[in-house]
Amino acid sequence: MKKAFFFFAIFFATLRATGQVCQIGTTTYTTLDAALAAVTNGQTIKLLSNITYNSGIIIEGKSITFDLNGKKLDITNPAGDGLDVGNNGEVKLADPSNGEFNVTGSYDGSASNFEVDGVFVHNSGKATVTNATSTGNNDFCMGACSSGGTITVIGNATASGNGINEGAYAANGTVTVGGNAIANGTGGRGIEVGTGGNVTVNGDVTGIFFGVFSVGGVVTVNGNVTATASGVGSTGAYADSGGKITINGFITAPDIYIKVGTTTKFAAQYTTPTTLPGYLTYTDGTNTVWVNANPFSVSATSMNFASSGGNQTFDIQSVTTWMVGSSDSWLTVSPASGSNNGTITVTAAANTTSAARTATVTIMGSGVTAKTITITQDAAVTAIETIETPDINVYSQFGNVIVDSKMLTIKSVLIYSVSGQLIKTVESSSNNVSISGLPSKHIFIVKIVMDNGKTVEKKIIVNS
């Protein structure tokens, strides 16, 4: 299904940045191009700043590691695959939690470029990325595509286009997606696997035409599966040619719930006895879909409240009874119990202290693993705070955060909540930056990165 020939070249792009952007050992480089040309098997490229690289990267026959160092590496190829790894090559991340490595492949309209992948591995290649995306109005478009290799996507695998597109695809290879697999083009298939392929998605899967499509491969989805098109035979889960699919969440499809071989199945048309304990079995004897008999999902994993408190909601999807509880008295939930699907209101009292606080909401269902939601609330707002240093001034004015540097050029300004959540990033090449659109009566941590590499952190309170 993939290209018959591979062009072994690295397409270099000019990085729109100055100074040292990365290093290998003790040697620093002003462009990622230079580092990629110099890196050898087993070496590590360490980021010194955020990098946007407007081309594709091909790694053949060698193993390299990216030390993201808390930075973002965004690869966007406007005319081909974002990342191509083959012939026993490997791209690793030193610490996947310390930064982002986002890869995007795009279609440029050329006939020779009819298939475009965010990440493509082949011939025992391996790759780990944060997010994998493919875009374009072409015949084939895959966020993560494994043809005899291994891909790990920590976040989401996404594809969009007017032809057949898949969030994740594998044949004689493996793809693991930590977040969601999404195919939102006209022929979208959230997941497709061919013979010898194995795809696991820990989040949800969404496709236009198929949620999950297995042709002789194995698929496991730990979240929900959705096919969104109506009136065109869209199918939640389709297993053919010996395909095997396991779904631990709910299936939503307007036309066909499940298809095995040439046989369509409604939700109630499962086979008894089941061939997998705890699951409903849908099979024609050759192709099988297993659906969790007691699925249980919650629409949120975290919430943040302003110091003033307030209400937020989350949804429960279930076929059983459940109970909801809070770990702290300042946080209440309603209703505290129920069955099947429901909407829960979470209410936080005002925080009058000078410290942020955290609580946990726990959702327990009969016969299922409990879910938890982490709740954070900002510290109380007491006054406007203006902080000055000899060369950098940070203050609040008319609801905006103003950063003024008397000597050095400001490279970027990052706004964090007091709980450490990144709220906003503003790139700059001037001595003065104004950040708008922030919620009022909040305390923020402002991180200023100067063009000489100097970093300054300030606390500011926006009070109007």
pLDDT at 21: 95
42 lies in some domain: yes
270 lies in some domain: no
Residues 322 and 443 in one domain: no
Residues 370 and 406 in one domain: no
Range in 94-98, 121-125, 151-155, 353-357 with the lowest mean pLDDT:
353-357
Region 15-24: what's the mean pLDDT? 70
- CA dihedral over 313, 317, 321, 327, signed as positive or negative: negative
pLDDT digits (tens, 9 = 90+) for 231-268: 888 999 999 999 999 999 999 999 999 999 999 999 99
What is the percent of the chain where pLDDT is above 70?
91
Q: Which of 208, 242, 261 is the last residue of a domain?
A: 208
223 lies in some domain: no
Residues 391 and 448 in one domain: yes
Indicate the pLDDT class of residue 137, thresholds 50, 70 and 90.
low
- Does 41 score more than 80 pLDDT? yes
110 lies in some domain: yes
Q: Which residue has the tokens 């597109």?
A: 165
Residues 334 and 419 in one domain: no
- CA dihedral over 267, 197, 92, 115, signed as positive or negative: negative
Residues 315 and 394 in one domain: no
Distance separating alpha carbons of residues 224 and 249, to the nearest angstrom: 4
273 lies in some domain: no
Alpha-carbon distance values, 204 to 150, 190, 347 (Å): 20, 9, 27
286 lies in some domain: no
* CATH number of the structural domain spanning residue 423: 2.60.40.10
Residues in CB range of 442: below 8 A, 6 or more apart: 306, 307, 378, 381, 417, 461, 462
Residues 120 and 65 in one domain: yes
What is the percent of the chain where pLDDT is above 90?
64
451 lies in some domain: yes
- Does 7 score more than 80 pLDDT? no
Residues 86 and 134 in one domain: yes
Total length of the chain: 464
pLDDT digits (tens, 9 = 90+) for 288-308: 999 999 898 899 999 999 888
Q: Which of 318, 343, 377 is the last residue of a domain?
A: 377
Structure tokens at 18: 């100055």
Give the β-pairing of 57-60 and 83-86: parallel
pLDDT at 112: 56
Distance separating alpha carbons of residues 254 and 266, to the nearest angstrom: 11
Indicate the pLDDT class of residue 223, thresholds 50, 70 and 90.
very high
Distance separating alpha carbons of residues 326 and 360, to the nearest angstrom: 6
- Does 390 score more than 80 pLDDT? no
Residues 424 and 303 in one domain: no
pLDDT at 402: 87
pLDDT digits (tens, 9 = 90+) for 420-440: 677 888 888 888 888 888 877
Residues 51 and 196 in one domain: yes
Q: Report whether 189 contacts 163 (CB < 8 A).
A: no
- Does 138 score more than 50 pLDDT? yes
Q: Which residue has the tokens 């230079």?
A: 34
Residues 77 and 201 in one domain: yes
Distance separating alpha carbons of residues 17 and 134, to the nearest angstrom: 25
Range in 38-52, 146-160, 447-461 with the lowest mean pLDDT:
447-461
- Does 387 score more than 50 pLDDT? no
Q: 282 in helix, strand or coil? A: strand
For 312, the domain range is 296-377
pLDDT at 384: 39
pLDDT digits (tens, 9 = 90+) for 335-356: 999 999 999 999 999 988 878 8
Residues 29 and 150 in one domain: yes
Using CB atoms within 10 Å of the CB of residue 42, give its burial: 0 to 12 exposed, 13 to 18 middle, 19+ buried.
Answer: exposed
pLDDT at 113: 56
Q: Helix %, strand %, coil % for the chain, to 5?
A: 0, 55, 45
Distance separating alpha carbons of residues 461 and 40, to the nearest angstrom: 48
439 lies in some domain: yes
Distance separating alpha carbons of residues 376 and 225, to the nearest angstrom: 30
Alpha-carbon distance values, 315 to 191, 207, 300, 341 (Å): 25, 22, 8, 7
Number of domains in the chain: 3
Per-residue H/E/C for 382-408? CCCCCEECCCEEEEEECCEEEEEECCC
Distance separating alpha carbons of residues 3 and 112, to the nearest angstrom: 10
DSSP 56-107: -EEEES-EEEEE-TT-EEEEEETTB-SEEEETT-EEEES-TTSSEEEEEEE-
Region 106-120: what's the mean pLDDT? 77
Of 87 and 440, more confident: 87
Residue type, 254: P
Determine phi and psi for 433, rounding to 5 degrees. Answer: -130, 135
Residues 397 and 372 in one domain: no
Distance separating alpha carbons of residues 129 and 152, to the nearest angstrom: 6
Mean pLDDT of the chain: 88
Distance separating alpha carbons of residues 342 and 324, to the nearest angstrom: 11
Region 136-163: what's the mean pLDDT? 89
Q: Which of 208, 238, 263 is the last residue of a domain?
A: 208
